[in-house]
Amino acid sequence: MKHNVGGIDRSIRIIAGLVILSLFFVLGENTRWWALVGFVPLLTGFIGWCPAYLPFGIRTCKMRRD
């Protein structure tokens, strides 16, 4: 599995994931479970790979030169 999420993209995903997850404690009881969607950007930010980028061939990270 090659990385396809760059540094800035990863930072934005981690911050956005934490913000969305924090909504779990703010939202009403019936809607708070939607805040768990914040795990998606948080996880993709930490591992540096996004499955949604694959079909479109998107890479926000720099290519390595070996």
State which amino acid sits at residue 13.
R
Domain of residue 12 covers 7-56
Q: Which of 49, 40, 45 is nearest to 20 (CA)?
A: 40
pLDDT band, very low/low/confident/very high, at 63 (cuts 50, 70, 90): confident
Domain assignment of residue 62, yes or no: no
Domain assignment of residue 39, yes or no: yes
Number of domains in the chain: 1
Domain assignment of residue 1, yes or no: no
Domain assignment of residue 2, yes or no: no
Nearest 5°: phi and psi at 38?
-60, -20
**Whether residue 64 has pLDDT greater than 80:** no
Q: How far is CA 56 from CA 7, 17, 45, 65, in A?
A: 19, 23, 18, 22
Q: What is the DSSP letter of 61?
A: S
User: What is the pTM for the complete model shown?
Assistant: 0.85
